[in-house]
Amino acid sequence: MDIKEIKEYLPHRYPFLLVDRVVELNLESRNIRAYKNVSVNEPFFNGHFPEHPIMPGVLIIEAMAQAAGLLGFKMMDVKPADGTLYYFVGSDKLRFRQPVVPGDQLQLEAQHLSNRRGIWKFACRATVDGKEACSGEIICAEHRI
């Protein structure tokens, strides 16, 4: 999926659209691989931290949640334009392993774990150069608008 198709499935826009491309999406195995190119021009680097820029952990989590949301939308075969959104409602087993800095390509992976009564759970991982930066379970709630 290129950015044009991603924007059909995610309601986020700059500066909160945190998925640049989907490189693999497998509905049979219910997993997705995507990435975010981390540029020094990201607005959050102005304050986090000017002399030692680090991508905020909450935005790494958000990027994983957006990748998981793309997978969920594709699994349900719906788009936000159809009246469905996913709200990020929680996380479990969250761990940070290393910082993400300008110039990194943040690889995002999500694997569908379960869906019960509109609550979706995904095992997610964010890596840079094959090294884990963050991992955890992302929980999303399906919401009709």
Edge-to-edge, what's the strand order for the sheet holding 105-116?
Answer: 21-26, 31-37, 105-116, 119-128, 131-144, 84-96
- H or E element that contains 133: strand 131-144
- Other beta carbons within 10 angstroms of residue 29's beta carbon come to 10
Hey, which residues are catalytic here?
48
